[in-house]
Structure formats: C-alpha cells, structure tokens
Amino acid sequence: MENAMDSNASEATAEAVVAKSPTRSSTELQAAFKKDMAYADLRKLVLEGGWTPVVEPACKKNVGGEAEICDQIPELDACSGDGYCIMHFESVSSGEKLDVTTYGMVEDWNVAGEDSRLNVTEWGFAKASKG
C-alpha cells in the first residue's frame, strides 16, 4: 500500500514540475536562432522551450505524393517542389506562434548540426490567431 502511495506522489511531483516548467519566450528563441542553422537544432530549442507543433490538417495535400513526412513532422504545413518547407509552432502560455521556413532535403528534418541538408532560411513570431 505504501508503495502505491509513493508512486502516486512521485507521479504528482513529476506532473507539477512539468506544469511549472517555463516556456522559453520568443525573445529567448530569437536570440538563439541563426540563419542557415540545421532545422533539427531549431526544432529542439523550440520543443524544449515548451512550444508545441501546430498540426496542419491539409499537410498531405500541401506536400503531395505519399506525404509520409507529414506523419513524422507534425508541425509541417507545406513543401514546394524546389525544396522550401513551412512549419508552425505555438506557445499556449504566451499566445504566440512561430512560423519557420526551411530549404533543403526535408528527410534531414532530424539531422542536427553541419551534417544536416535541411536549413532554416527565415522565421517569424506573431500573436496566434483565435479561431
């Protein structure tokens, strides 16, 4: 009985820590982002900062073909035939959204550092729209 209580207390403590984890602000992220950085590096900063992917229901239509990449990258909105892709994240706590444009080989979405062939070309922060 005592073990079950200890387990529940540990779970509650872990949930409280997660709930109190601060969201990295757009200002902090802006300072960390660099043009031509690997998308995987930007994505890690954003997700670790408490931001969440914005799922685009029309991704598979926007990307075309089999579009399996939409299942791997929930924040993916669309990719063009010439290598540009658009991704979206949001911060529920601040009510902001982040739009990211990349260029390169989208299959390198999870390759960090200089080995990545998917690099960030631009990004922008804005207030998330309601609706």
- Report if residue 79 sits inside a domain: yes
- Report if residue 37 sits inside a domain: yes
- Host domain of residue 34: 23-127
- Report if residue 77 sits inside a domain: yes
Task: Return the minimum-mean-pLDDT range out of 42-46, 54-58, 63-67, 115-119.
Answer: 63-67
**Residue 131 confidence (pLDDT):** 56
Note if the pTM is more than 0.85.
Answer: no
- Asked if residue 13 has pLDDT above 50, the reply is no
pLDDT tens sequence across 64-111:
877 899 999 999 999 998 999 999 999 999 999 999 999 999 999 999
- Report if residue 15 sits inside a domain: no
Burial of residue 64, with CB atoms counted within 10 A of its CB: 0-12 exposed, 13-18 middle, 19 or more buried: exposed
- Report if residue 78 sits inside a domain: yes
- Asked if residue 55 has pLDDT above 70, the reply is yes
- Asked if residue 16 has pLDDT above 60, the reply is no
Our count of domains for the chain comes to 1
- Report if residue 34 sits inside a domain: yes
Cα atoms found within 13 Å of the Cα of residue 39, Cβ hemisphere only: 29
- Report if residue 100 sits inside a domain: yes
- Report if residue 11 sits inside a domain: no
Sorting pLDDT into bands at 50, 70 and 90, what band is 129?
A: confident
